[in-house]
Structure 1
């Protein structure tokens, strides 16, 4: 057992302690075999390079990365561009949303809805651009981990410690992460250009500078959400809808113009017709109101239809409010779960793996896998945070009297994209 413990650091360092003993038991290589002599010389040089570092290839890779010329990192030009500032800058390009008070309620409502649509579009573009930039940075890190794994595997094959099949697995992972990096760059560029169009940026230099003006990540969701009565919330949303308010006024005028009690008579007649429907199957024909006095009164029919349409619209609006509020609560819980629970746990796991790796108790591949898991969890946390703020934007649009967007904001699983355990 003590001998195995003494040998373990050498295994972690990716050396081959059994090679000299094995070589001594074999038939000596003929001196005139140039191919075998060159192979032995390459193996010897590779292991000599690794031997200069206490933990083998991984330290060699880190040393090479530290001694590369530093990449030029552009300085952030001033404070980060917030969503509110983006909205203010974008509104300067929409003079039609400003001016004197509209002449009638219809024009006022149309201008208000246009303003809400513009602000929502700008805020969504800002949120998408911030997420895309963060996702690109995280994918860049994932790609660098894959590059390190592939390079380490190549040197392992060169030293004779690995088979070509194991190297191919690392190279497939490297190619997959490289493809994801290209896609992340494409997504980031598209999101940045959409925001640039809203802000009125005209030159390529302005659009390029926008990448440095955005914050590194979206704001953290609040620790808790207020939990008011759901019916109170729905009533607030209904009251804020200017279209419903105008529809309520028009319906009231139509109903008020009818003789007293006429609408109630029509309601009773309809209830009687509904009572004739079969209870054990579908009806063979539509229900009929037998009182022809009620069916011949056109104003009565129009008022009844307007009243029913208003009831349907208010019911739909209340349902939308409950759905939007429920999704906001769900996305808040997911964002808090991934950002304040899952990500810290995976980060702590990576730190513990690093400590054990430094103590030569875990392998290089376990460290790379822990890093991949942490990057995957960080990506999931960023997407969950983005989903929360999208749900928040949908909710705010409802409260302001705007339309219901019903945006799909399902966050991905935190385990998506984690490293395989086949090393």
Structure 2
């Protein structure tokens, strides 16, 4: 008589053990894992804001950061804890991870109730049913779910890397554009002065019309360049503002450094870069994707043939004439018979997904080192170009400027030749700023590629313009 209660307790214990193995998602733990794995990449903590208290704390932190000129690392810190755009990325990843974990959960049982009257007889039917195949395949589905949750974790880390890289490059663009605007203003003022001087010299007969128009042309070009530079500085600044999620008051308070950081003393060594890229995110994600597809194919091959529903029935029949009450107990088993559809198309789709995942993994493995080599080449090339501007071209231009100043003081050249040389020197500085900005963009791209989120940057390598045609002297 004690066998049935023991069986019930045993079944309940087994059910609890099975359910305890279900994959779960805790966004705070996921963020902690991501923060730890990217500790050397971003040097700050990503946070999902879920309460008003957290939002107010982050608002105060953002206001405090904006009191000083915004460094690149401060921009990363601000984005990771304050930007609504980044918060959207985190929330969407949380949703994707919970959907992945849902695969490993048992479907809820279905309770059916029916009331049927036949003449003087009333029948109440009760049926509790559940998917028997769903329960039998639970361990396999839990394995698939855990792999998908792990993959979502890697996707979260990859999304953080992408956002941090974009902010770093946006910061470089904004600072470089602001720095270039300063020099464009100098070119404009020099051209404006030379154009006014040429007009006055023509009025007194010391300049021809052609000479005056040439100086006026320089001034017109400088005005156009100044307008374009001013808009570029505004556009890049606003792009950074949007990525940081600043409101109108915070955007007005934003202060950028006057210039880009200096180049490092030496570039990163290829061996060190290759060593850091040994455990890349893209390879791990592709491998988990293939394993999930392979497991899902094995499970789907079984489920494509049949489906099984099991149920426990308990019916009560009332005889209205006699007042008798009879109970019926039993169980039901429902099988989906593969008569019209043998699941061939489903199995083909599963085979295709697994094949695609296998080829995606192979493609990722083959492309990983190639993208790393390309990214390092861009990094090293932009470093060499920027250093060449710093160590060779700019000192040469400065020497020419010093010599021309001596020649001007000795009255060997006129003021227009001196101004033209000054404009040419500033144009070279602008190209040096562009080269320096390209290096810092390439540096951000290389850091992202090393982690496993390949980013390709263009390398212009433009040479400085030839010495300005100064126009006739006096």
User: What is the TM-score with the length of structure 2 in the denominator?
Assistant: 0.57
Change (3 A) 1:304 1:157: closer
Partner of 2:177: 132
Deviations 1:233-290 (A, max 9, x none): 5962646643234246458879999xxxxxxxxxxxxxxxxxxxxxxxxxxxxxxxxx
Residue pair 1:143, 1:178 contacting (<8 A) in 2 also: yes
Counterparts of 1:344-423 in structure 2, within 5 Å, are 344-402=395-453, 404-415=454-465, 418-423=467-472
Rate the CA distance shift 1:108–1:195 in 2: closer, same or farther, 3 A. Answer: same
Aligned match of 2:259 in 217, 223, 248? 217
Q: Distance in 1 between matches of 2:277 and 2:450?
A: 10
- Evaluate the alpha carbon distance shift between residue 309 and residue 328 of structure 1 in structure 2; reply closer, same or farther with a 3 A threshold: same
Unaligned 5+ runs, structure 2: 1-65, 102-148, 300-346
Per the alignment, do residues 195 and 303 of structure 1 end up closer, same or farther by CA in structure 2, a change over 3 Å counting?
closer
- Indicate if the aligned counterparts of 1:86 and 1:123 stay in contact, CA closer than 8 A: yes
* Higher mean C-alpha displacement, 323-332 vs 297-306: 297-306
Aligned residues: 303
Contact preservation (8 Å) 1:234, 1:321: no
Alpha-carbon separation, structure 1, partners of 2:363 and 2:440 = 29
Pairwise CA distance, 1:132: 0.9
Using the alignment, how far apart are the partners of 2:385 and 2:258 within structure 1?
Answer: 20
Report 1:250-261 matches (<5 A): none
Deviation at 1:197, TM superposition (A): 1.6
Contact map agreement 2:177 2:229 (CA 8 A) in 1: yes
8 Å contact 1:238–1:314 — kept in the other structure? no
Return closer, same or farther for 1:219/1:113 CA change in 2, 3 Å cut-off: same
Q: Contact between 2:270 and 2:376, CA under 8 Å: does it hold in 1?
A: no
Structure 2 residue 76 is the aligned partner of structure 1 residue 87: yes
The corresponding residue for 1:72 is none
Shift of 1:207: 3.1
Q: Does the 8 Å contact 2:283/2:364 carry over to 1? A: no
Q: CA separation in 1, counterparts of 2:250 and 2:187?
A: 29
Give the drift of 1:392: 0.9
Per-residue deviation, 1:336: 0.4
Instruction: Label 1:78 to 1:345 Cα distance change in 2 as closer, same or farther (>3 A).
Output: farther
Q: 2:278 aligns to what SS in structure 1? A: helix
Q: SS of the counterpart of 1:215?
A: coil
For 1:155-166, list aligned pairs within 5 A.
155-166=200-211
The offset of 1:181, in angstroms, is 0.7
Give distance in 1, aligned partners of 2:368 and 2:410: 61
Q: Per the alignment, in what secondary structure is the counterpart of residue 378 of structure 2?
A: helix
1:228 to 270, 283, 294: 270
| Higher percent of residues as strand | 2
**Alignment match, 1:312:** 363
Q: Give the drift of 1:184.
A: 0.8
SS of 1:373's partner is helix
Report the CA distance shift for 1:226/1:393 in structure 2 as closer, same or farther (over 3 A): closer
Give the direction of change, closer, same or farther, for the CA distance of 1:231–1:366 in structure 2 (3 Å limit).
closer
Stretch deviating more after TM superposition (141-150 or 337-346): 337-346
- 2:212 corresponds to 1:167: yes
Cα-to-partner distance string for 1:273-331 (whole Å, 9 max, x where unaligned): xxxxxxxxxxxxxxxxxxxxxxxx98999877754443222111221111111111111
State the superposition RMSD in angstroms.
Answer: 3.2
Residue 373 of structure 2 is aligned to residue 322 of structure 1? yes
Cα distance, 1:233–1:249 mapped onto 2, change above 3 Å: farther
- The Cα of 1:143 is off from its aligned counterpart by 0.6
Deviation track 1:120-151 (CA, whole Å, cap 9, x = no partner) reads 22222111110111111111111111111101
Residue aligning to 2:385: 334
1:238/1:244 contact within 8 Å kept: no
TM superposition score normalised by structure 1: 0.64
